[in-house]
Amino acid sequence: MGRVSINKHVLIVFLLTISYLALSSVPKQETPKVEELIVLARQFENAGNANQAVYYYNKAANAYWRANDFRSAIAYFEKTIENIKKVGNRNGEKLLYINLGLLYTEIADYVHAQKSFENALSIARSSGKKQDIGQILYNISTVQIEQGNYQGALSNLTKTEALAQEVGDQKLLRNAYYNYNRAYEGLKNTEKAAEYFSLYAMLTKKIQAEEIRKKELQAKAMVDSAGRVVQQVAQEKEHTEKRLVETSKELKEKEQTLKEVEELTREQQMQIELLNAEMKLRDAVIQHQKLLQKVYIGLTLFSLAFAAALYYAYLQKRRANRLLNEKNEEISRQRDAISRQADELRELNSLKDKLFSIIAHDLRSPLFSLITMLNIAKEGHFSPENFKEILDELSVNVSHTTALLENLLTWAKTQMHGVKVNPQNFDLNQLVNSRIQLLNEATQAKEIQLKNNISRGTFVFADTDMADIVIRNLISNAIKFCNAGDRITIWSTTGADRVTVCVEDTGRGMTPDVLQKLFGTQITSTPGTRNEKGTGLGLILCKEFVQMNGGEIWAESQPDMGSKFFFTLPKASV
């Protein structure tokens, strides 16, 4: 029984995805209970509106299926089929028969399961969709194997194999090989079973290798720029290490020179002593009166020479020590530079990991959801009454994905040192007004009051695009954490050389520990009052752009008392 369930979901996962998503696109908080769905379905059925009856019966059947109440799910899928036949939606009827076949398989009613799959097969053949025909034939072979009808299963698998090869569906072909193995095992033909198991294993490895290759190609394109930066840092590191080796070699040569100077001093001292001894021997034949004078003169000369030698050695040693200290300081500076380069390399690697994490987690999910909804709408599974809900949800997905991508690219550009500040004088009131107009739809959706109290003629000297990004993110954050009826006010104060801007809201506020972590380097995100998603990049961008324009940013907040986000910009010179 376990083998049938796993194989079934592997083979028709795309059919299940389409059917399930088409019938469960309403957000969880708005989904009616099963009993309400059934009441609505019966009302539409009695009123002769078969299309809406199909919609609600299908939702009820899927709800029972998710709750593992298979028999109730079967009953309401059958009611759905009765009504969809009135509508004439043959493709939807085919999907419903497939669902019935899967449910009957769950309760081991293989007779009804095969009958349901055969009904679906008849519809698929009339439409001529070869891939659907192959999938359904495969499902029938699975049921036949469970009933012990191995010859019938082999017949259907032969057709499945031919269709899979014709349309180039490697996964369907791989699964056909797997059922070949099971059928021949049932017939006790171990040789054939082993042959098809080998084909199954070989094709599985090939499919996995192709999928891995696609992911590698996608990843390679994304890390090329980071790879070039890493290569450049490695080259700079290699150059620095070479310079460090040359400096060390030069230092050793200086030390050797110092030793040679000290050795020379000692040799000179010995020569002086020998000279004095010779002078004493010559003075021995001189008169006694002159002997003492010459001895004193010799001693004086020796003392002077010795003092000069010592002083010279002292000067040489001090010079060598100064050179040594200079080299040590240079080595220390080079070591610090290497350490900074290593830190930059680690930051680049960390940046790459963060980018991959955000793209994999936050960007891929809404895009896949968007593609799936568009495909479902293209197939015509939504009625006119439901189409507005789908458009609203698509609009939310597109808006979130666009904002996410914009913040992600802007932040990545700043991290790669590719952003330059282009300051100019501009009116802060006009900039805030233009941003409020773009955010009016979001504030109206949440029933929030948004007001600009910045006086006209409040000019600042800063990069207009960066200031716009800061204001957009701060207002969007305020909207995200406000409830219906809350207010958001943007106001400013002007000092001698600074303009302080405040985005104040009456939302849910923050605890002290959350407030303390706001402008850190860690990328974190907190869901909004309506579970709005974020990337965690907004406040990081705000901090970087404000500081790049010579300003500061901070926040004040208390739980349930709202929040105030302040930032400063240079005042425009008249």
CATH code given to domain 223-352: 1.10.287
Structure tokens at 311: 């002083």
Q: What is the pLDDT of residues 266-303, one digit of tens each?
A: 777 777 677 776 777 777 767 777 777 887 787 888 88
Rounded mean pLDDT, 542-548: 92
> Is the CATH code 3.40.50.300 the one for domain 401-570?
no
The band of 453, judged by pLDDT with boundaries at 50, 70 and 90, is: very high
Comma-separated ranges of CATH 1.10.287 domains in the chain: 223-352
Do the strands 553-557 and 449-452 form a parallel or antiparallel pair, or are they unpaired? unpaired
pLDDT of 456 strictly over 90: yes
Q: What is the Cβ-side half-sphere exposure of residue 96, based on CA atoms within 13 angstroms?
A: 26
Distances (CA, A) of 224 to 54, 218, 238, 334, 413: 51, 11, 21, 29, 15
Distances (CA, A) of 281 to 272, 294, 297, 523: 14, 11, 15, 91
Three-state DSSP at 341 gives helix
User: What residue type is assigned to position 446 of the chain?
Assistant: K
Those residues with Cβ within 8 angstroms of residue 174's Cβ, 6 or more apart along the chain or in another chain: 200, 203, 204, 207
Q: What is the pLDDT of residues 381-393, one digit of tens each?
A: 666 666 666 666 5
Task: Tell me the H-state helices in 416-495.
Answer: 428-445, 464-480
The DSSP code sequence of 213-278 is HHHHHHHHHHHHHHHHHHHHHHHHHHHHHHHHHHHHHHHHHHHHHHHHHHHHHHHHHHHHHHHHHH
CATH code given to domain 2-217: 1.25.40.10
pLDDT of 412 strictly over 70: no
pLDDT of 540 strictly over 60: yes
Distances (CA, A) of 293 to 69, 77, 280, 296, 297: 129, 135, 11, 5, 6
Region of 559 (left: φ > 0; alpha: ψ -120 to 50; beta: rest) is beta
Distances (CA, A) of 282 to 292, 304, 521: 13, 21, 87
User: What residue type is assigned to position 513 of the chain?
Assistant: D
Rounded mean pLDDT, 41-60: 94
Do the strands 498-505 and 487-494 form a parallel or antiparallel pair, or are they unpaired? antiparallel
User: Distance from CA of residue 253 to its chain's centroid?
Assistant: 53
The DSSP code sequence of 140-209 is HHHHHHHHT-HHHHHHHHHHHHHHHHHHT-HHHHHHHHHHHHHHHHHTT-HHHHHHHHHHHHHHHHHHHH
CB neighbour class for 279 (10 Å; exposed up to 12, middle 13-18, buried from 19): middle
User: What residue type is assigned to position 195 of the chain?
Assistant: E
Q: Output the pTM of the full model.
A: 0.40
Comma-separated ranges of CATH 3.30.565.10 domains in the chain: 401-570
pLDDT of 552 strictly over 60: yes
pLDDT at 406: 65
The band of 320, judged by pLDDT with boundaries at 50, 70 and 90, is: confident
Comma-separated ranges of CATH 1.25.40.10 domains in the chain: 2-217
Least confident of 143-147, 245-249, 267-271, 449-453: 267-271
Instruction: Single out the residue of 433, 517, 520 nearest to residue 471, CA to CA.
Output: 433
Structure tokens at 562: 């709202």
pLDDT of 10 strictly over 50: no
Q: Which residue has the higher pLDDT, 565 or 289?
A: 565
pLDDT at 12: 46
Instruction: Report how far residue 74's alpha carbon sits from residue 65's, in angstroms, rounded to the nearest whole number.
Output: 8
Q: Which residue has the higher pLDDT, 530 or 354?
A: 530
Those residues with Cβ within 8 angstroms of residue 141's Cβ, 6 or more apart along the chain or in another chain: 152, 153, 154, 156, 157, 160, 176, 179, 183
Instruction: Report how far residue 266's alpha carbon sits from residue 178's, in angstroms, rounded to the nearest whole number.
Output: 93
Structure tokens at 204: 């599985």
For the chain, the average pLDDT equals: 82
